[in-house]
Amino acid sequence: MSDTASSAPTNQPRVALVTGAAQGIGRAIALRLAEDGLDIAIADLGPQRTNLDGVAEEVRAKGRRCLVLECDVTQEEEVQRMVQATEKEFDGLDVMVANAGRLLVKTIVDSTLTDFDKVFDLNVRGVFLCLRAAAQVMIKQGRGGRIISASSVSGKKGSALNGIYCASKAAVRSFTQALAGEVGSYGITVNAYAPGPIDTPLRMFMLSLSPLLPYSYPPRIFSFFYALENLLGRIGTPEDVANMVSFLASKDSAFITGQTITVDGGGWMD
């Protein structure tokens, strides 16, 4: 089957939906896809509405339309409404970016079932709901599509202090491989991006809460240590990840599916 993932109706811009778009990597992805000429739906939790509105203004300043949606992606009904609202507003959905996620810095020994449930609800259940809803719409449309999820280098190799998080991101990698095999015949590609440490507000906030930081080091100092772990000598930025998503969302990635692509400056090599 020829690639139809970039085949929005004639003269109609392609449409992307990005979850967890209020800040960090999600914000960078939304802005990059807007620069690429896509109309954008952005979603996040209700308390993030002010940040979401700010991202929407930036998208519109780039000449693209933007739909702002409040959504808890762990809730099936809310995910369905989010996807349906995007489809209705823009007459379709071409790119789904299931970016929303949660980080936990904690040993397995000290973790609770509440910790486990919170991470898996968002990183696994939420991704599953978004992927399923997007695939259903794209199959119905019959014009292909791009489904892209947030995994992590930690989903390829487990690491101390991140056990629950690592397992959740490994699940995303498995979803990616399985769904790619199910929807390839419809011209839909399914891939994931696997960042290493990225300098985002979420990472710095979670590190600030960790009881494991020695001698009360400020979290920002860990950016320096992370940078020493890769070949390029710097910590990643949200824009580094957004560049990869831009490629995976484009026609140039038409023959790539089922992959979880590392973006970490060479710290981990497949």
Token digits of residue 224: 């320096």
- Percent with pLDDT over 70 in the chain: 86
- pTM to 2 decimals? 0.90
Q: What is the pLDDT confidence band of residue 214, given thresholds at 50, 70 and 90?
A: very low
Is 217 annotated as catalytic?
no
Question: Could you give the C-alpha distances from 76 to 70, 73, 184, 200, 263, in angstroms and in order?
Answer: 14, 7, 24, 28, 30
- Asked whether residue 1 carries a pLDDT value surpassing 60, the answer given is no
Catalytic status, residue 186 = no
Which among 88, 140, 157, 165 is annotated as catalytic? 165
- In which order are the strands placed within the sheet that holds 95-98? 66-70, 39-44, 15-19, 95-98, 145-150, 188-195, 260-263
Average pLDDT of the chain to the nearest whole number: 90
Looking at residues 208-224, what average pLDDT do you find? Answer: 50
Residue type, 62: K
Between these two residues, 168 and 207, which has the higher pLDDT value? 168
Find out if CATH 3.40.50.720 is the number for domain 15-197+237-263: yes
> Positive or negative CA dihedral for 66, 176, 170, 113?
positive
Of 140, 157, 169, 186, the active-site residue reads 169
Query: Is it the case that residue 85 has pLDDT exceeding 60?
Result: yes
Q: Return the pLDDT at 215.
A: 42
Give the span between the Cα atoms of 5 and 250, in whole angstroms. Answer: 8
Alpha-carbon span 18 to 41, nearest angstrom: 6
What are the pLDDT digits (tens) for 98-108? Answer: 999 999 989 99
Q: How far is CA 42 from CA 23, 45, 55, 156, in A?
A: 11, 11, 8, 28
At 203, the pLDDT band (50, 70, 90 cuts) reads: low
Average the pLDDT over 123-131 and give the result.
98
Residue 202 or residue 29, greater confidence = 29
pLDDT value of position 198: 87
Q: Are 18 and 97 in contact (CB under 8 A)?
A: yes
